Amino acid sequence: CGTCGGSDIDVDQARGSAVCTDCGSVLEDNIIVSEVQFVEGSGGVSSAVGQFVSADGPVKAPLLGSGFHTSVGKESRAQTLQGGKRQIQHLGSQLQLNQHCLDTAFNFFKMVVSKHLTRGRKTEHVIAACLYLVCRTEGTPHMLLDLSDLLQVNVYILGKTFLLLARELCINAPAIDPCLYIPRFAHMLEFGVKTHEVSMTALRLVQRMKRDWMHTGRRPSGLCGAALLVAARMHKFRRTVKDVISVVKVCQTTLRKRLTEFEDTPTSQLTIDEFMRVDLEQECDPPSFTAGQHKTKMQQLEQELTRKLDDVEGEISCYKNEIETELEKSRPKLRGIYAACTQETDPANAEVLSVNPDPAEPEDEVQAAAQRLTQDFLCHVIQEEEGWARVECLHKAPPLGAILGNLPSAAGLDLQQHLESAAEPEAEQVEGGELDLDGIDDQEIEKYILNDKEVEVKTELWMKQNAEYLKEQKEKEARIQKEKEQGTYKEKAKKPKKKREQKEASTAGEAIEMMLERKKISSKINYDVLRHLNSRGTGGGRGSSPSGAPSDPAAAAGRKRLHGRRKR
């Protein structure tokens, strides 16, 4: 006894209990009796009491009357297993799996049901995962994508379910060998009698890829597609990338990436005969490792280049300051009246702008500055040429700095360019519509004429830009020609243009009425009412004054007196 430590236990087989006689503790209750009992039937035949139950635990379904078998009373587990077995048989027949694989898949399904892994998941997903688990363990040439196509389910959902079942059932699915899929894909690409030769070459390529660490962590279909494409070209079969990807079910980028990785290996430098006879012993590094090294090297080069650029920019800035200083020293100094103008302008406040001035500034100040410069220039020229010592300007204007203030300088305003363009005489207009070719030589004319190569390039560019339009025109011409041959073509009848009779209007009102009649502005306007209003407003055909005043002074005076009486 666990309470008092006594060993005197009273066991009652009828009640199925065990009681300690020393302290009275009930040690066991409702004990399952494993004894076999027999009863004697009406015919004197003895039979065992109860029935045999399998390890799965289903019970026999009851019979409702004679010949009526029903699933009422069956356990839910039995129904799940029955439906799962039926779906496994259906999918297995489509994948052309043998009976051994189907039985193994059903055993996996029973293990999944016993561990309650079907809860919250669709039965078809679990069955597909069990079938793919069998394909991985038995080494059949089937992919998870094949099951995805049959069930029309996302392949990532099936992959997630497969990984869960493999982890919970403690099954280590072996890695897929790409060589399993080569015969299948080669048969689908239809190489004819050379299917075996192409398959053997592709197998050799796949084995070489596996030695160069291109297999680990990659989908086998991508390696098979690259190997089959190269093998087909080696045996002079014209198979495009689209033909291969439609069979192996990978995207074009993946296939091209596998080809690029294989191109970086030493095996790609061998000829066809050397590849079929020689096996290179050396192995290449994995593509991911090589790409990581290349990325690190590129980052180091970028850092070194950035450092060198910074050094060069520092040297350039030093040279730039020295060059500006030397240019400022070597710049010729202005003399005469221009020197006075530069002295009047404060260099500390003057801002020399290298861009055009703001167009929003007033033009009056610019014109005043230009007029001032022109007058000073004329005065200086007259004094030098004719020797007039007492010639003065027309009026003494304020200094240039007072006029311009902090405005941009003459160089920033492009005044010199405007003055030169204004001083140039206007070109005489060519009369008679003839082009003046004076001063143009043959070499300059030849520059405007395209040579044969430029004509071809421009023609090709034009054809590419207008390819759709030209195609539509050809289809239209072919359709019209076909309709003419069949006699069903009908030309569109051209509507004759109506000649409009030009009527001269005597007044502006008549001209407006004629225009409204010719061009209906709106269908909701009653033009007769407008015409009546026009006739009333004109006062019997006479035009009214714009101010609305009456033309008769006497009538106006009478109306004024009447208005005054009403006010009173």
Name the β-bridge partners of 282. Answer: none
76-168, CATH topology level:
Cyclin A; domain 1 (1.10.472)
Confidence label for 354 from pLDDT (cuts 50, 70 and 90)? very low
Per DSSP, the three-state class of 37 is coil
C-alpha separations of 317 from 31, 313, 415 in Å: 100, 6, 31
- Per-residue model confidence as pLDDT tens digits over 236-283: 888 888 888 888 888 888 888 888 888 888 788 888 888 887 777 777
The pLDDT assigned to 438 comes to: 65
Q: Which residue from 190, 195, 226, 232 is spatially nearest to 209, judged by alpha carbons?
A: 226
* Residues 227, 208 contacting (CB under 8 angstroms): no
Range with lowest mean pLDDT among 225-229, 462-466, 516-520: 516-520
- Max avg pLDDT among 413-417, 420-424, 461-465: 461-465
Q: Token pair of 473, please?
A: 């025109």
Per-residue 3-state assignment (H helix, E strand, C coil) for 423-455: HCCCCCCCHHHCCCCCCCCHHHHHHCCCCHHHH
Residue 104's pLDDT band, with cuts at 50, 70 and 90, is very high
Is the pLDDT assigned to residue 349 strictly greater than 50?
A: no
Q: Which amino acid is at 484?
A: K
Fold for domain 182-284? Cyclin A; domain 1 (1.10.472)
Do the domains at 76-168 and 182-284 have one common CATH topology? yes
User: Hey, what are 459's tokens?
Assistant: 């023609």
* pLDDT above 70: percentage of residues in the chain: 65
pLDDT band at 131 (very low <50, low <70, confident <90, very high): very high
Q: Which of 137-146, 220-229, 490-499 has the lowest mean pLDDT?
A: 490-499
Q: What is the pLDDT at residue 161?
A: 92
| 65 token code pair | 């009357």
- Rounded to the nearest integer, the mean pLDDT of the chain is 74
Q: How far is C-alpha 285 from the chain's CA centre?
A: 34
pLDDT recorded at residue 568: 46
pLDDT at residue 382, as a whole number: 57
Which has the higher per-residue pLDDT, 425 or 497? 497
- Mean pLDDT across the stretch 322-331? 78
Distance CA 107, CA 116 (A): 14
Query: At a CB cut-off of 8 Å and minimum separation 6, what does 84 contact?
Result: 106, 109, 113, 123, 126, 127
Dihedral angle, C-alpha 247, 250, 251, 255, nearest 10 °: -90
Window from 48-57, 338-347, 355-364, 524-533 with minimum mean pLDDT: 355-364
At residue 499 the predicted structure's pLDDT band, cuts being 50, 70 and 90, is: low
Domain boundaries, the chain: 1-31, 76-168, 182-284, 337-421
Query: What's the whole-number mean pLDDT along residues 173-198?
Result: 86
**What's residue 439's pLDDT?**
63
The pLDDT score that the predictor gives to residue 192 is: 85
With contact defined as beta carbons under 8 Å apart, do 127 and 87 qualify?
Answer: yes
Higher pLDDT, 449 or 34: 449
pLDDT of residue 125: 92
Residues 271-325 pLDDT 10s: 888 888 777 777 777 777 777 888 888 888 888 888 888 888 877 878 777 888 8
565 pLDDT higher than 70: no
Q: Is the pLDDT of residue 556 over 80?
A: no
CB 206 within 8 A of CB 178: yes
